[in-house]
Structure 1
Amino acid sequence: MPERSETVLMGIDFGLKKTGIAIGQTISCTANPLDILPSKPVHLFWEGLQNLVRQWRPDAFVLGVPRSGLERKHPLIPGIIRLSRRLQQEYRKPVYLVDEQLTSHEAAQQLSPKQKKALLRKQFALDSIAAKIILETWLKNPHNHLQLDELEKSL
């Protein structure tokens, strides 16, 4: 099998109820919404994520972190830390953390009213689009990401 010259990235917008997934690559610096996974029960989340990882074979993961999580205790931070650690342990791939401020708002702005209605009906909603925006944020500036230990200190 030939070597891939691009880096395939999986973007993740973690949520307490559902988690948006996007896929992108470094040659064209583009990303696309991919899927929504239920965050609970945890075994269903990991089963779904493992299937996507097998299918897309990402070289790295990019997770969104709420900026307010660094300023005060945000309810998503413990889950983001656990997810980051497990991704590193299971896949032995880099995990990058980027500021996700306003990604859900920006995702909603990118949709026409007709698209919003169709997406909400399918429950594809904004989470995978927010994951796409998180991934695009990293692709635009791959050196501007948070360190996991920095995030852990915020707890």
Structure 2
Amino acid sequence: MGLDIGDRRIGVAVSDELGLTAQPVLTLVRKNRKQDLKSLGRLLRKYGCAAIVAGNPLYMSGDVSPQAEKAQAFAHLLREEFGLPVYLWDERLTTTEAHRHLQAAGRPATEHREVVDQVAAVLILQGFMDARRVQTASD
């Protein structure tokens, strides 16, 4: 499962059974920590997820941003709550790239807000899976 973790919303994506492609699932509107974890737990069970990839929004310099600190803390909670591996993935510019993908697909800007977090989650998960495939091929 791939997550684009924000203060108000969490974009969620999952991979296909072969781990080749990422697909959007939904945008979770955050309520509180307990509800957020409960909703994510349901999705993890529904899709049979074995790991979580959480976006890590670093500054362009590579330094840890305040938002990255929040994402890292939430990733830690996910590890504790679900006992699954949680990988942090550099998500610099994924939201910008998500907006570009939506524009290229002809989606009006007014619709972007509804799905941009899902698309960002797809980009995070797909980038992680692609990098693992390349790394495995070179080993």
Superposition TM-score tier, normalisation by shorter sequence? 0.7 to 0.9
Aligned partner letter, 1:125:
V
Could you say which residue in structure 1 is the equivalent of 2:107?
A: 115
Give me the TM-score of the superposition, normalised by structure 2: 0.81
Give 1:98 shift. 1.0
State the Cα deviation string for residues 94-131 of structure 1 (Å, max 9, x = none).
111111011111111112474245734xx532001000
Where has structure 1 moved over 3 Å in runs of 4 or more?
69-73, 116-120
Cα distance between partner residues in 2 of 1:41 and 1:94: 23
CA RMSD after TM alignment: 2.4
More helix by share: 2
Cα distance between partner residues in 2 of 1:99 and 1:26: 24
Structure 1 stretches lacking a partner, 5+ long: 1-9, 145-155
3-state SS in 2 of match to 1:128: helix
Give me the TM-score of the superposition, normalised by structure 1: 0.74
Within a 5 Å distance, the mapping from 1:25-44 to structure 2 comes to 25=16, 27=18, 29-44=20-35
Structure 2 stretches lacking a partner, 5+ long: 135-139
Could you say which residue in structure 2 is the equivalent of 1:127?
A: 117
How many pairs does the alignment contain?
133
Matched residues, percent identical? Answer: 28
Q: Is the 8 A contact 1:22 1:131 kept in 2?
A: yes
